Each structure stands twice: as C-alpha cells, then as structure tokens.
Amino acid sequence: MEFFPKIETRNLNLYYGSFSALKNINIKIPPKEITAIIGPSGCGKSTLLRCFNRMNDLIENVKITGEVIIDNKNIFDKNVNLLNLRRNVGMVFQRPNVFDASVYYNLTFGIKIHRLMRNKNKINDAIQMSLEGVGLWNDLKDKLKKNARYLPLEQQQRLCIARVIILNPKIILLDEPCSTLDPIATLKIEELLKKLKEDYTIIIVTHNMQQAARISGWSGFMLLGELIEFNRTKIIFTNPTDSRTEDYITGRFG
Amino acid sequence: MCIREIKESVIEFFIKISGFIIILFVFLIFLFLLNDAVLLFKDFPLKEFIFGKRWLPISNPPHFGIVPLLLGSLYVTFFATIICVPVGIASALFIAEIAPKFLRNILKSFIEILASIPSVVLGFVGIVWLGPFLKDTLKLNTGMCGLTGSFLLALMALPTIISISEDAIISVPKSFKEAAFGLGATRWQTLWRVVLPSASSGIIAAIMLGIGRVIGETMVVMMVTGNAPLVPKSILQPLRTLTATIAGEMGEAISGSEHYFALFAVGLVLFIITFIINFLSVILLSRSKK
Ligand SMILES: Nc1ncnc2c1ncn2[C@@H]1O[C@H](COP(=O)(O)OP(=O)(O)OP(=O)(O)O)[C@@H](O)[C@H]1O
Ligand SMILES: [Mg+2]
C-alpha cells in the first residue's frame, strides 16, 4: 500500500466468552484520512473500533489475541499506559454522551484528569480552539456555564468531538456518530469530519453507505466478524473484488 | 371485554382511594396533634414553650420549655449524620461500582439484616457495650450520653442511606461512564467527577430520609442517652430528645392535664420537622429521576 499505516492490526481476534466476534483481522489504517467501517448489524464494527482504544477492556469475559500497532507499539503490551492511549485515541459514541454538567465542565474534564494545564487563560484558549474546531464557538461562547444536556443533539455531538480534540489526540474513533441526528445535522457533522481529517486520523463506523461514500477515503467491509475487503472507498463502491461486498453495497442484504 | 373493563376500573378506584386515605390519615394525625396541643397554650404562653430553656413538667409552677429537648434532638441527629453520611456514601459507592458480584450480594443482605434489627436490641448493645466502651476510652462521667445515641442512630440510618444512594448511583447512565473512560479517566476519577455528581440529588434525598429516620427514632435514644432534659453543652453529656420525652412521660402524665397537652405540643413539633425533611427528600428524589 502507498502509505505508512497509523494503525495496523495483526491477526486480531476477539472473543466475548466463547463467541468469536473478530476473526483474524488484518487492517492498515491510513494516516490523516477518513476510514469508514461498514457492514451489517452485529458484524463486529463497534467491537473492532473499540479495540483501538482498548474500550473492550471494560467488558467482562473478553479475550483478545493478536496485535494492534499504533506508532510502532503494540497497544496490548503490558507497559502501555492505557490512560495516555485513550487520550491519544479519542472516541465519539453513537448517542451524544455529554456529562450532566456545564459545557465548561465537559470541555475541561479531560484537561483536569490528565493534568494538562493549570493556567486559566491557557484553559480558556484551549476551550476556544476546540469549540472553533467543531464550529461551536459562536454558538456557545456565552453559554459555557449552561448545562450541556440542554443543547440540541447536534450541538451535543459536536461538543463530544470538541471534548476529544481538546486533548490533542492523533486518532479519532467515531461509532455511528450521526445515527441520532437528522439529515441536515448529519451533513454538518460530515463537513466537520472532512475538515478534521487534515489534522487527525479518523475512523468512522457507519450503517449509512452514502455517508461512507461521501466522506471516506478508505473503506473496510466487515461480515460476521471478518474483514472481507479493505480498499479505497472509490474502489469498494465501484469495483469491489469480493462478491459479498458487492451484494452489500448494492443492497442485496443487510 | 366489558367485565374486564369493570374489573380494571374497580381496581383503579381502590388504588386511588388508598392513595387518598393515606393523605387523609396524615392530615388527621396532624389535626389530632394540633387539637390537643393548642389546649396547652390556653394557660401556658406559646413564647415560653418555644424559647423556654427549662423542661420541668412536675415542678410548681411547671415549665414546658422545648429548647433543651429540641437541642437534644438536634445534637444527636447532627452527630449521627456526620457519622453515617460519609460511611453511607462510601458503602453505596463500593456496593454499586467496585465490589464484585458475590460480595455485593453478601453486603446487600447484611444491610437488610441491619435494617431489620429491632431498635431495642441496638439500645441494649448501647447499654451493655458501646456506652461503657465510650466511657472508658473518652474518660467520661457516664457512657449514657449523646454520642452513644448518635453512633447507634447512625447505624440505624445507614441501611436507608446506603440503599437509596446505591439506587441513585446505579441509575447514572452507563454512557457517562463510557465517556469518561473514553477520555482516559481512571475508575476513581470517573466515580468522583462523573458518577457522584450525577447521582447527587438522589444521594441528598437518601441523606434526608436517613435524617428523618434518626429524628423520629425513640427507643434507642431513650435507652442510651441518659435522658437528662437539660440544655446540652456537648455531645458527650447526657441529654434528652423530643421523642424520648414523649415516650417517657406520656405514661405518667394525667390525661387532660397541662403536662399531657405539652407532650402533644412536643409531638406536633416533631411531626412538623419530620414532615418537612421527608417532603424535601421526596422533591429531591423526584428531581433526580426526571
Ligand atoms: N458485551 C458483549 N458480550 C457478548 N457479546 C457481544 C457483546 N458486545 C457485542 N457482542 C456481540 O458481538 C457481535 C458484534 O457486535 P458489535 O457491537 O461489534 O456489532 P456492530 O457491527 O457494531 O453492530 P451494530 O451495527 O448493530 O452496532 C454481535 O453479534 C454482538 O451480539
Ligand atoms: Mg455498533
């Protein structure tokens, strides 16, 4: 391939108890691009995504074999600092999950727990930068004290993205970030992601194939825990190698 | 079809009626207390009841100053609260978030057992063991003092505080925790900065209900606090609460006497205090479940 992968998995297997949810996944995620993971419900998209910041560690009875290499390091190694990993690999969830607290509290949460800065002015600058980064600064600059749960859903989801990028991550994982949003809000978030890919490596799980086609440079198609095909989005959608990929994108199942 | 509708409307009717009956009962109790309490103030000035520092019901002339009793209740309640709130919240956090499943179940059944111990048994423990123990370790004149009562009351309030706080903690949406972990928070940071604040109104309600329980408790305080109706200067002295006064003196007060009505007035004060506390906690609880 023509890039040096930002994330690379090697023979990645994941079991929930005895159920094999990921089967021998080998994927190379390009840097500073949007990579889409598509596939029918239950095929393991979220599970794969959650491997990249080790969120699966929180679930009981999970067994993982194989490697996930980020910046030349296997993130499953014993000496990896899990908290720094999650700071570098931010995650945005399906439902906007802002804390039941002010916008300010939401944005400074990560700064505080990682003790990144103390200086009030610096913190305020960081808040402004991150809100500008997600196009919320003008809307929220006078409402930092307001409870974030009372914002419109789209703004909540943007705030979740801002909460991640304020920590200067290298990678942003998004698990169906638009599934609770209306089409207009969805397009706005997509615009945002296209802008963010200049600075971040972005991986997005989506059910929506148009969305994958619109924003991603690379796409992976999964089925029953396997990565069937991974290639440039253009090729996946116009000239896939595997007939199962073709069936899926032409809407014959799933 | 028709029979079922009738059946359902009958059931609904009974449920509604029971609800109203409860409200009616509370109201009737209030009226009943008020009715007898006001008779005291025919002869005894209200001002002296509220601000009087002496409770001497059988001296001549008698004094019915509620201040020592009110302070007695407040002291005991205050210290019981100081003891049981941190312990209760910590236990609730431990049970809800940290303990492995089997330990959680064991702890929960212990708490249920604790809740079901009759207060007279706890009072007994206070007289035989806790009182003498506190007397020796703190070098007191007597172990039958406010602090002994506070400890036992704290123990009695714990089950309420723990189980309601635990509910509040468990109902914090999982997604909040996921968000915190996803941002790289440790378990402790997540508990402290996300879970506890989100559960706070439920926890406050739990505390209020616990306090309501403590203020109303009678048997334990009667058995272990020494029952001296003096204005307490410290929690380490014997004192007397509102509840212990009513329970202790009602038997000897002649029906229809001033003393008798004075005890009703004390009861009314107690009723109002507990009503306010419970009312506030219900409001907080409903807000936490919004
Ligand atoms: N905690 C868990 N315990 C056991 N099985 C799980 C768990 N989480 C997911 N699974 C199973 O693993 C498989 C993959 O789940 P995953 O959530 O990764 O799918 P997905 O592709 O994200 O699906 P969707 O599009 O519905 O979100 C599913 O069959 C699911 O039932
Ligand atoms: Mg999913």
Tens digit of pLDDT per residue, chain A (254 long)?
A: 678 999 999 999 999 999 999 999 999 999 999 999 999 999 999 999 999 999 998 898 999 999 999 998 999 999 999 999 999 999 999 999 999 999 999 999 999 999 988 899 999 999 999 999 888 999 999 999 999 999 999 999 999 999 999 999 999 999 999 988 888 888 988 999 999 999 999 999 998 889 999 999 999 999 999 999 999 999 999 988 998 998 898 876 54
Best B177, B181, B183 member to test A by mutation, with max A CBs in 10 Å, is B183
Question: Global pTM?
Answer: 0.83
User: Which of A91, A95, A112 lies closest to B182 in CB terms?
Assistant: A91
Q: How many domains does chain A have?
A: 1
Interface residue A91 vs chain B (CB under 8 A):
yes
Evaluate whether B219 touches B244 at the Cβ level (below 8 Å): no
Cβ-defined contact of B197 to A100 (cutoff 8 Å) = yes
- Under the banding of pLDDT at 50, 70 and 90, the label for residue B54 is very high
Is A2 inside a domain boundary? Answer: no
- CB of residue A45 inside a 6 A radius of ligand 1: yes
Distance from CA of A53 to the nearest CA of B (A): 8
Interval between CA A42 and ligand 1 midpoint (Å): 5
Is A89 inside a domain boundary? Answer: yes
Distance separating alpha carbons of residues A247 and A137, to the nearest angstrom: 43
DSSP B98: I
ipTM: 0.91
Is A29 inside a domain boundary? Answer: yes
Q: Domain of A21?
A: 7-94+169-249
At A64, which CATH number? 3.40.50.300
**pLDDT surpasses 60 at B101:** yes
- Under the banding of pLDDT at 50, 70 and 90, the label for residue B4 is confident
Give the pLDDT score at A254: 47
Q: Which of residues 172-211 of A touch B (CB under 8 A)?
A: none
Q: Which of A18, A19, A47, A62 to mutate to test the pocket of ligand 1 (most atoms within 8 A of CB)?
A: A47
User: Which of A95, A100, A110 lies closest to B183 in CB terms?
Assistant: A110
Query: Domain B56-289: what homologous superfamily?
Result: MetI-like (1.10.3720.10)
In percent, how much of chain B has pLDDT > 90? Answer: 81
Q: Report, as an integer, the average pLDDT of B208-229.
A: 91
- CB of residue A44 inside a 6 A radius of ligand 1: yes
Ligand nearest to the CA of A207: 1
| Longest CA span, chain B | 76
Q: Residue B190 burial by CB count (10 A; 0-12/13-18/19+): exposed, middle or buried?
A: buried
Give the pLDDT score at A252: 65
Tokens of B32: 């009943």
Cβ-defined contact of A160 to B185 (cutoff 8 Å) = no
Rg (CA), chain A: 18
Interval between CA A90 and ligand 2 midpoint (Å): 17
Mark the residues whose beta carbon lies below 5 A from ion ligand 2.
Answer: A 46
Q: Report, as an integer, the average pLDDT of B9-34.
A: 92
Distance separating alpha carbons of residues B174 and B191, to the nearest angstrom: 12
Distance from CA of B208 to the nearest CA of A (A): 23
Is A121 inside a domain boundary? Answer: no
What are the distances in angstroms from CA A20 to CA A9, A27, A211, A253?
A: 17, 18, 28, 22
Distance from CA of A93 to the nearest CA of B (A): 8
β-pairing verdict for A89-92 and A171-175: parallel
Q: What are the pLDDT digits (tens) for B64-97? A: 999 999 999 999 999 999 999 999 999 999 999 9
Those residues whose C-beta lies under 8 Å from the C-beta of residue A39, and which sit 6 or more positions away, are A45, A221, A222, A223, A228, A248, A254
Give the pLDDT score at A23: 95
Give the pLDDT score at A1: 61
Distance from CA of A20 to the nearest CA of B (A): 23
- Under the banding of pLDDT at 50, 70 and 90, the label for residue B282 is confident
Evaluate whether B182 touches A86 at the Cβ level (below 8 Å): yes
Q: Report, as an integer, the average pLDDT of B40-45.
A: 90
> A201: which strand partners?
A171
Give the pLDDT score at A250: 84
- Residue B8: other Cβ atoms inside 10 A: 10
Q: What are the pLDDT digits (tens) for B222-274? A: 999 998 898 999 999 999 999 999 999 999 989 889 999 999 999 999 999 99
- Under the banding of pLDDT at 50, 70 and 90, the label for residue B281 is confident
User: Length of chain A, please?
Assistant: 254
Is A46 inside a domain boundary? Answer: yes
- Residue B166: other Cβ atoms inside 10 A: 27
- CA nearest B238: which of B120, B119, B147? B147
What are the distances in angstroms from CA B203 to CA B79, B99, B117, B161, B208?
A: 18, 19, 24, 8, 9
Shortest-distance atom of ligand 1 to CA A94: 27
- Residue A211: other Cβ atoms inside 10 A: 22
Distance separating alpha carbons of residues B30 and B32, to the nearest angstrom: 5
Q: Which of A25, A43, A226, A253 to mutate to test the pocket of ligand 1 (most atoms within 8 A of CB)?
A: A43
- Residue B278: other Cβ atoms inside 10 A: 17
